[in-house]
A and B are shown apart, each in its own frame.
Chain A
Amino acid sequence: DTEVTQTPKHLVMGMTNKKSLKCEQHMGHRAMYWYKQKAKKPPELMFVYSYEKLSINESVPSRFSPECPNSSLLNLHLHALQPEDSALYLCASSQDKDRGAYEQYFGPGTRLTVT
Chain B
Amino acid sequence: QKEVEQNSGPLSVPEGAIASLNCTYSDRVSQSFFWYRQYSGKSPELIMSIYSNGDKEDGRFTAQLNKASQYVSLLIRDSQPSDSATYLCAVNMDASKIIFGSGTRLSIRP
Contacts and interface: CB of A to CB of B under 8 A. Distances in A.
A105 B46 contact: yes
A108 B45 CA distance: 9
B42 interface: yes
Assign chain A's interface to a size class.
Answer: 20 to 34
A16 to B, nearest CB: 28
A97 interface: yes
B49 interface: yes
Contacts of B103: 42
A43 interface: yes
13 contacts: A2-B46, A41-B102, A43-B100, A48-B97, A56-B97, A88-B43, A97-B97, A98-B95, A100-B95, A102-B32, A103-B49, A104-B34, A108-B43
A42 B88 CA distance: 8
B14 interface: no
Q: Which 10 A-B pairs have the closest CB atoms?
A: A42-B100, A106-B43, A109-B43, A102-B32, A102-B92, A106-B44, A108-B43, A103-B49, A45-B97, A56-B96
A32 interface: no
Contacts of A41: 102
A106 B96 contact: no
Given A48-B97, A56-B96, A108-B42, 18 more contacts: A41-B102, A42-B100, A42-B103, A45-B97, A55-B96, A56-B97, A97-B96, A100-B31, A100-B32, A100-B95, A102-B32, A104-B34, A104-B98, A105-B46, A106-B36, A106-B45, A108-B43, A109-B42
